[in-house]
Structures are given as C-alpha cells and as structure tokens.
Amino acid sequence: MSTYFIGDIHGCYTQLMLLLKKANFNAKKDYLWIAGDLVARGPDSIKVLRYLYSLQDHAKIVLGNHDLNLISVFFGKRQNKKENAFNDFFFSKDSEMLMHWLRHQPLLQIDEDRKIIMSHAGISPYWDVSTAKSCAKGIEECLSSQDYIVFLESMYNNNVMHWQLNLTPLEKLQYSINVLTRMRYCYPNGQLDLTCKEIPCFAKKPLQPWFLMKKKISKEYSIFFGHWSSLKNTRVLHPFYPLDYGCCWGGELAMIRWEDKKYFFQSNKK
C-alpha cells in the first residue's frame, strides 16, 4: 500500500491516467490525495470527477477555488465562462450525482498518525490544528446542508482578510475560504493578499509567502498544497510540499509518493 499526493489536475484526465500508470498506482490498495482544483481549464473535468468518484475511500480530496466555482456555476449562482470548460456538466446524466458528491467533499485533510495536512491553498498563520479543523468543518457543513444555495450566494468576501475574534460567523467562513482555497501571500501582520501571483523573488515587499510566516502549527506536520503554479521552479523547504506544476498551462502534473518522497511527473506540452 502506498499513498500518493497529486496537485491541481484541472480536468487533465489523460495526463492523470498516464501519471498514475508511471507510478503503478493500484486503485484497490493505494491511496490518492488530491489537493483541489480537480476541474476547470482542462478538457476533461467530468472524466476526472468520474474517476475520482470511482476510487471511493481510496481518494482523499480537498476542494479548491475552481471546484467551488463549478458548484456555484452548476447551481446557477455564478456565470459560466468559456475558459471554465464546464459545459459537459450541463448535458451529462450523472452531473447531479457528481455535484452532490463534490459538495460533500472537505476543504482540509489531516492524518494525525503520520502528521500530514493537505489543503488547496494553505493554512492561516493564525491557526493551530484545532482551529484549522473547526474552520474547515464550518464550510463543509454549509456546503453539505440543505441551505447550501444560500451559502453559495455569500461565500466570497474580499474584504475579510484578517483573522479576528470579533468576526461574525459568516465572516469566519469567508475568511476560511479565502485561506484554504485562495491564499498565496500575507503581509507581516498576517493580513491576506489575494492579488499577487508572482514567484516570491518578484513579489513586492512587504508581502511574504504564507508558508514563510511564523505559524502556530507545529513543524512536525508535513503540509501539502496546490494552487500556486508559479512556485514550480522555486525551492520550498520541508515541511511544505507545493503540488501545482501548471499542467493546464502546458506544464506538468506532479505527484509525490509519501513512503519514499519520490516525485512523478507527466508533461502536458501544448
């Protein structure tokens, strides 16, 4: 049995299958952890969801910003744009089932025994493990509730960039979504910046990558994340493992085997 961590698939089904074949992935014995952004931009998002759904308990998923966008678009709460490549979801018989499954997926995966954390974008420097779990669970409960449509209408707020005790319940959810699915940089005081996408050496001061901020989570945890394709040529030190190598942009799909930390890559040259 092996455990594999894979970055932003973005609908690149062919590359996913080739990558798993390279690693001799066994769907009955091995486990695949996926760091969000399963869909969008690539040509075969619905095939990716079908395959991951078929893995059942052998797939451990966190939702990314593009996955949340798909849910919102499918249920009529955001505009469907051509670059999303979501049209298949409106004409397939299994779309309702897949959307029901997708909106019941978590935004955080933690293995306490092996000290592993995975989220799509990262972990707030303000959070310890308990707080991170609580914040992620709050979002998951809203997405899987009968009132999920109401939540989809208000889950984004670009003005909630600071973790404060006096945040309203909705603002805590909005901040948590910003952290778990959208974050790259913070200011020295911990305030989020959601605009800069540059590699760290080109980012304007005083912005700092979230993973270089002083954190409350112990260094014994290995933290896997995606979302940041421009990091692919940047050295990021343990315990952080960036997984997005820009496959949908003509880069690579990347995967790490936990047991020996071996990397596997599949090119998507355009």
CATH level 3 topology of 3-267: Purple Acid Phosphatase; chain A, domain 2 (3.60.21)
Q: pLDDT at position 233, please? A: 79
- Rounded CA separation 36/63 (Å): 5
Contacts of 11 (CB under 8 A, 6+ apart): 38, 39, 40, 41, 42, 43, 44, 45, 47, 48, 85, 248
Q: What's the mean per-residue pLDDT of the chain?
A: 93
Residue of 65, 194, 68, 217 whose CA lies nearest to 132: 217
**Mean pLDDT confidence for 23-50:** 96
- pLDDT higher than threshold 70 for residue 270: no
Domain positions in the chain are: 3-267
Contact between 89 and 102 (Cβ < 8 Å): no
> How much is the pTM?
0.94
> For residue 108, what is the DSSP state?
-
The pLDDT tens digits of the residues spanning 39-52 come to: 999 999 999 999 99
